[in-house]
């Protein structure tokens, strides 16, 4: 959660907030959890349909995969990441 808090604060400071001020920012929490997993895995991928908000955190090192594209890629055995 501390990683999420840092991302939440940075996004607001940069004018790129992904939720209302009074809302819990699920995107920052998910990105924060992904950051924590980077130390344990070679690659961390978030599969989501919320590409716009999550892409603002992609500089952190994890990959984002559109869930609809993931279904297509699975069928054809290829991977096309969003970021």
What does the pLDDT read at residue 83?
60
Model confidence band, residue 11 (pLDDT cutoffs 50, 70, 90) = confident
- Put simply, whether the predicted model's pTM sits higher than 0.85 gets the answer no
Model confidence band, residue 75 (pLDDT cutoffs 50, 70, 90) = confident
Cβ pair 25, 31 in contact under 8 A: no
Cβ pair 21, 42 in contact under 8 A: no
In the chain, domain spans: 2-76
Q: Is the dihedral of CA 28, 59, 50, 79 positive or negative?
A: negative
Helix (H) or strand (E) holding 31: helix 26-37
């Amino acid at each position: 959660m501390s990683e999420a808090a840092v991302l939440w604060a940075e996004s607001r400071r940069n004018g790129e907030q992904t939720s209302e001020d009074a809302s819990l920012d699920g995107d920052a929490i998910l990105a924060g959890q992904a950051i924590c997993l980077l130390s344990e895995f070679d690659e961390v991928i978030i599969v989501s349909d919320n590409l716009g908000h999550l892409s603002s955190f992609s500089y952190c090192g994890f990959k984002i995969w559109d869930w609809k594209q993931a279904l297509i890629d699975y069928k054809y055995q290829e991977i096309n990441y969003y970021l």
